[in-house]
Amino acid sequence: MATAASPLLVLLLIQLHVLFHLSDSSIALPQPQHSSSKERHQPALLQSTCNSTSFYDVCIAALAADPSSSTADVPGLCAIAVSAAAANASGTASFLANASDAAATPEADRALLRTCAGKYAAARDALLAARASLAEQDYDYAFVHASAAAEYPAVCRTLFRRRRQRPSRTTTYPPELAKREEALRRLCTIALDIISLLQTQEPST
């Protein structure tokens, strides 16, 4: 029988989600533009680069949000993608840290939320390391760092699942957190796809 999430925790996460969306647009997954005319005005290189990724619409939205994407080469577009993922991870880390410190958060949930905040912070740091590797044209290490970043949020989901399996616990994975995990997963996948593109363009030795 499925268990229900703590009502206080769910309500708190929803309230914080609204506040964060009002103050920080980097937290949410970039919304794809569905207008074909809008897409036609994107630079050809941006479109072709995003066409090599698993999430074309999200890629276009994320990269086009940075004005420098209009003149960037493929390594530059890759750096923008990694930065977008890092900003997303950082926003969720702050979101969870605030949730863990909120007075309305049940004491039993605080440690779990702090742990999750730490995982998203680790994802952010891994993405920053990936960007540093990109700057050195070390695409193999950039791929390793971005891959690690994509895995950190899954640890948070696992912790919630393990807690739910305890007889005395009823906490399930909050839908808001699941949405944020998926947003970061897509952004990391886009970054990894573009890094892979760069790896194929490297001159053979």
Q: Could you state, in order of their start, the residue ranges of all structural domains in the chain?
A: 44-200
Q: What is the pLDDT of residues 33-80, one digit of tens each?
A: 444 444 556 789 999 999 999 999 999 999 999 999 999 999 999 999
Q: Which phi and psi (to 5°) does residue 121 adopt?
A: -65, -40
- CA 165 distance to own-chain centroid: 27
3-state SS string over 64-123?
HCCHHHHCCCHHHHHHHHHHHHHHHHHHHHHHHHHHHHCCCCCHHHHHHHHHHHHHHHHH
CATH topology of domain 44-200: Butyryl-CoA Dehydrogenase, subunit A; domain 3 (1.20.140)
Q: Cα separation of 58 and 51, whole Å?
A: 11
Contact 74, 198 (CB under 8 A): yes
Low-confidence residues of the chain: pLDDT under 50: 1-5, 11, 17-26, 33-38
Residue 151: its pLDDT value, please?
94
Residue 76: its pLDDT value, please?
97
Residue 172: its pLDDT value, please?
75
